[in-house]
Chains A and B, each alone.
Chain A
Amino acid sequence: MNTKEFNIAVKEYSNRLIRFSDKILLNTSVAKDIAQDCFIKLWENKDNVAPESAKSWLFTCAYRMCLRYIQSNKRFTEEVSLEHNAYEMPNPDLKKIVKDALDLLNENQKAILMLKDYEGYSYQEIGEILQLNESQVKVYLFRARQIVREYIVDLKLVF
């Protein structure tokens, strides 16, 4: 990977990487830091990373760094719960509601849902990024969507 390809990767994936980390961590500034660290690592390993695999490499890096961050700051993230979020004021914007519902998911579910819906990855690709097998990915995704659906129903947005 040369400088030009690296810059293309930055342009293409920087916002996606921040959003991915932000949804997992619920902290935009930390998400930015993690994304930046990932690009620094990518630059350091530019000789070993092919341009076509840069995207999955970056998301794998970001996911691992998010997990590390969560483990080191576990006591602060435990406050988030389903009950706390489920009975907020209803929001007519469905996208906003679904985004809020993401906060109820655990890291794996959140990461899988993000990679599937936002990035359009297949089960196999998600499994490679998150070190899971395809059936695990499918189960996690099913459970994640179920939680989102329940959240929407709880808000009485649908009949």
Chain B
Amino acid sequence: MNYINKQNIEEYIFDYYEGNLSDIQKAEVMSFIHQHQEYESLFAQWAMTYTLKDEEPEKYGMEHSWMRKETNNFQWKKWTTVFAVAIIGIWGIYNWHTNLSSKNDNQVIKPTSSKEATIIPLNKVAKTIDNKKLNIINNNNTGLQNNIAEEAVNLTVTDTKDSIENNIVLPKTIIENESKIATESKLSSTDSSEANTFSKEAKAEKKAKKKKIKLHLNFKQHDEFKPVNENF
């Protein structure tokens, strides 16, 4: 730090009022002024140059003419939000309702026992029967029985396809369905020649589907199979 002298006293006084000095430096400045009283007036004069400090400005009254009008978007935003929420709500309820109804329509009873496995919803069966077969059904009632039985097998297989490994009911259900089909086809073979031809075709289709099912399922039938679940 430089020593205070007559050449730099004015700079020190300036720094004193500016607040640039430490407490020790301030004390040194004051000490110097007390020792040299000719600088007391200089010290007072410098103080006068700070009279404008923190003075409030006079008011020119221009601020109101320069202000921008605030657009009140609150109401508009509020109603937009309410409308959007209402639309989303309605859409959500509609979606939920349609999903619920479609679930009810598509609900298929999964087989838990051999008895239940044979129960197939009629609408599901009707959907899966193609037009060709429907024509034949119109002509021959035995064909209808056959087709329904076939579709029962198909539906049981497709519905339980994903849970084959965990559900042991399936093989038994299929076997039962197959046996039913066989007995029904035997009965139908005695009806008429047209019915015989149809039954032959049906048998051929059935055999093909059997092969497919066997290939698809890839399970082996065991004579010693004993189900753990009593429901079996």
Q: Is the CB of A14 within 8 A of B68?
A: no
Determine if A153 is an interface residue (Cβ-Cβ < 8 Å).
Answer: yes
Q: Is the CB of A98 within 8 A of B44?
A: no
Q: How far is the CA of A66 from the CA of B16 in the complex (A)?
A: 31
Q: Is the CB of A3 within 8 A of B71?
A: yes
Determine if A118 is an interface residue (Cβ-Cβ < 8 Å).
Answer: yes
Given contacts A117-B53, A142-B14, A145-B14, contact A14 B60 (CB under 8 A): yes
Q: Beyond A10-B63, A15-B57, A19-B60: 12 further Cβ-contacts under 8 Å?
A: A3-B69, A4-B70, A10-B67, A32-B62, A39-B66, A117-B50, A118-B52, A142-B14, A145-B46, A149-B45, A158-B41, A158-B48
Q: Is the CB of A11 within 8 A of B67?
A: yes
Determine if B55 is an interface residue (Cβ-Cβ < 8 Å).
Answer: yes
Chain A residues in the interface with B (C-beta under 8 A):
3-4, 6-7, 10-11, 14-16, 18-19, 28, 32, 35-36, 39, 43, 94-95, 98-99, 113, 117-118, 120, 141-142, 145-146, 148-149, 152-153, 157-159
Q: Is the CB of A99 within 8 A of B52?
A: yes
Q: Is the CB of A10 within 8 A of B58?
A: no
Chain B residues lying within 8 Å of A113, measured Cβ to Cβ, are: 52
Q: B49 is contacted by which of A4, A35, A98 (Cβ under 8 Å)?
A: A98
Q: How far is the CA of A11 from the CA of B70 in the complex (A)?
A: 14
Chain B residues lying within 8 Å of A36, measured Cβ to Cβ, are: 62, 66
Chain A CB within 10 A, most for which of B41, B50, B62: B62
Q: How far is the CA of A95 from the CA of B56 in the complex (A)?
A: 12
Interface bin, chain B: 20 to 34
Q: Which of B23-38 contact A (CB under 8 A)?
A: none
Q: What would be 26 A-B contacts, judged by CB atoms less than 8 Å apart? A: A3-B69, A3-B70, A6-B67, A7-B67, A10-B63, A10-B67, A11-B67, A14-B60, A14-B62, A15-B57, A18-B60, A19-B58, A36-B62, A43-B68, A94-B51, A98-B48, A98-B52, A113-B52, A117-B53, A117-B54, A118-B52, A141-B18, A142-B11, A145-B46, A148-B48, A149-B49
Nearest chain B residue, comparing its CB with the CB of A150: B45
Q: B46 is contacted by which of A18, A141, A149, A157 (Cβ under 8 Å)?
A: A149
State the Cβ distance, A88 to closest chain B Cβ, in Å: 17
Nearest chain B residue, comparing its CB with the CB of A113: B52
Chain A residues lying within 8 Å of B41, measured Cβ to Cβ, are: 158-159
Chain B residues lying within 8 Å of A99, measured Cβ to Cβ, are: 52
Q: How far is the CA of A7 from the CA of B66 in the complex (A)?
A: 8
Q: How far is the CA of A15 from the CA of B69 in the complex (A)?
A: 20
Q: Is the CB of A158 within 8 A of B44?
A: yes
Nearest chain B residue, comparing its CB with the CB of A46: B68
Q: Is the CB of A15 within 8 A of B49?
A: no
Chain A residues lying within 8 Å of B10, measured Cβ to Cβ, are: 146
Q: How far is the CA of A141 from the CA of B11 in the complex (A)?
A: 11
Q: How far is the CA of A16 from the CA of B55 in the complex (A)?
A: 10
